[in-house]
Amino acid sequence: MSAEPANSTGNGGNKSASKPMKKSAARLGAVQALYQMDLAQTPLHDILAQFQTFWLGREVEGVQLADADVRLFRTVVEGVLEDQRRIDPLVNKVLADNWPLSRVEAVLRAILRAGAFELLMLDDVPARVVIAEYVNVAGAFLDRDETGMVNAVLDKLAHDLRAHEFATGLTGPGAV
């Protein structure tokens, strides 16, 4: 995957990026790492080392990549791998019949898995924030129809997994 979209977090190379910007950059990096792992079969240890050493917050091909929350990056990448057998059936249930996650394009699959992981396991992040963040990540790589699909799938998962947030109008503690 190209390094260019990682700059789309709007940080402009500012190493003292705000906490929300660092979290956005971490999510974008996690999706890129999951994509690379999926296509190149790169082992977890190698991908974490590679991204932390050469990508997150670094200058690549003249583009300054956004500083990222490394802890969130690692949590999402490791969590998707650890919980993939739980995540994939949840996403499959929401996808259209006869179109399982395994048939979805690799970038889209990485985005859906990462978003589903956060909805399932990181309940300190409001569901609406998770959806918005991964829709933004999708916008860096995908066309409008696929971005809309990310929104629809994650929204349905959020309503299924965190119905309480939508029933009461609560959005959680506000951590982005």
Taking the C-alpha atoms of residue 18 and residue 39, their distance in angstroms, rounded to an integer, is: 32
Per DSSP, the residues of the chain read: --SGGGGGGS-TT-TT--HHHHHHHHHHHHHHHHHHHHHH---HHHHHHHIIIIITT-EETTEEPPP--HHHHHHHHHHHHHHHHHHHHHHHHHSPTT--GGGS-HHHHHHHHHHHHHHHH-TTS-HHHHHHHHHHHHHHHS-HHHHHHHHHHHHHHHHHH-HHHHHS---TT---
Summarize pLDDT for 141-152 with one digit per residue, the tens. 999 999 999 999
| pLDDT of 174 above 80 | no
- Residue 33, token pair as written in the block: 């790492």
Taking the C-alpha atoms of residue 27 and residue 9, their distance in angstroms, rounded to an integer, is: 10
Average pLDDT over residues 10-14: 41
Of the candidates 76, 72, 77, the one whose C-alpha atom is nearest the C-alpha of residue 46 is 77
Taking the C-alpha atoms of residue 99 and residue 76, their distance in angstroms, rounded to an integer, is: 25
pLDDT of residue 167: 82
| pLDDT of 110 above 80 | yes
Taking the C-alpha atoms of residue 34 and residue 81, their distance in angstroms, rounded to an integer, is: 9
Summarize pLDDT for 52-108 with one digit per residue, the tens. 888 887 766 666 767 889 999 999 999 999 999 999 999 999 997 768 888 899 999
Burial class of 102 by CB neighbour count within 10 A (0 to 12, 13 to 18, 19+): exposed
Of the spans 18-27, 67-76, 111-120, which averages the highest pLDDT? Answer: 111-120
- Residue 52, token pair as written in the block: 């932390």
pLDDT of residue 75: 97
pLDDT of residue 60: 63
Domain map (residue ranges) of the chain: 4-161
| pLDDT of 12 above 60 | no
Q: Give me the percent of the chain exceeding a pLDDT of 90.
A: 65
Domain spanning 4-161, CATH architecture: Orthogonal Bundle (1.10)
The residue ranking higher by pLDDT, 9 or 38, is 38
